[in-house]
């Protein structure tokens, strides 16, 4: 992501309003997750079916889990706002997120 906005990671962390991970173990885990997540690949797919909920500035990652929702689809490529389709049994909910 830092390469896309042409800023070093350290500069993005300095100006970010989001809380930064504390400690090397959490930072290593965050980097490992990002390395495997399609959103941060060089050629992101248009969308992903299934997967896990991600935290957004307007919604914590565990809000959907606490509602018992399952992620069905999330958009990536050229898609801001990012769109998520979640379900709980036979109920569906669509959310759009801006970063």
Domain boundaries, the chain: 1-36, 44-99
Residue 7 CB: number of other CB atoms within 10 A? 14
User: Model pTM?
Assistant: 0.59
Cα angle, residue 61 at apex, residues 55 and 64 outer, rounded to 5°: 135
Percent of the chain, pLDDT > 70?
78
What pLDDT score was predicted for residue 64? 79
State both tokens at 34: 């990002």
- Above 70 in pLDDT, residue 94? yes
Q: What is the per-residue pLDDT across 19-58, written as a single tens digit (0 to 9) for each?
A: 665 677 777 887 887 788 777 788 878 888 988 777 777 7
Of residues 93 and 16, more confidently modeled? 93
Q: What is the 3-state secondary structure (H, E, C) of 76-89?
A: CCCCCCEEEEEEEC
């Amino acid at each position: 992501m830092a390469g896309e906005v042409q800023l070093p990671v350290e500069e993005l962390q300095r100006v970010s309003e989001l809380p930064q991970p504390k400690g090397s173990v959490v930072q290593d885990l965050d980097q490992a997750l990002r390395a495997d997540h399609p959103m941060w690949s060089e050629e992101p797919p248009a969308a992903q079916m299934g997967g896990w909920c991600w935290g957004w500035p307007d919604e914590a990652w565990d809000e959907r889990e606490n509602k018992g929702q399952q992620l069905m689809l999330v958009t990536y490529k050229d898609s801001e706002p990012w769109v998520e389709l979640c379900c709980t049994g036979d109920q569906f909910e669509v959310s759009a997120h801006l970063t």
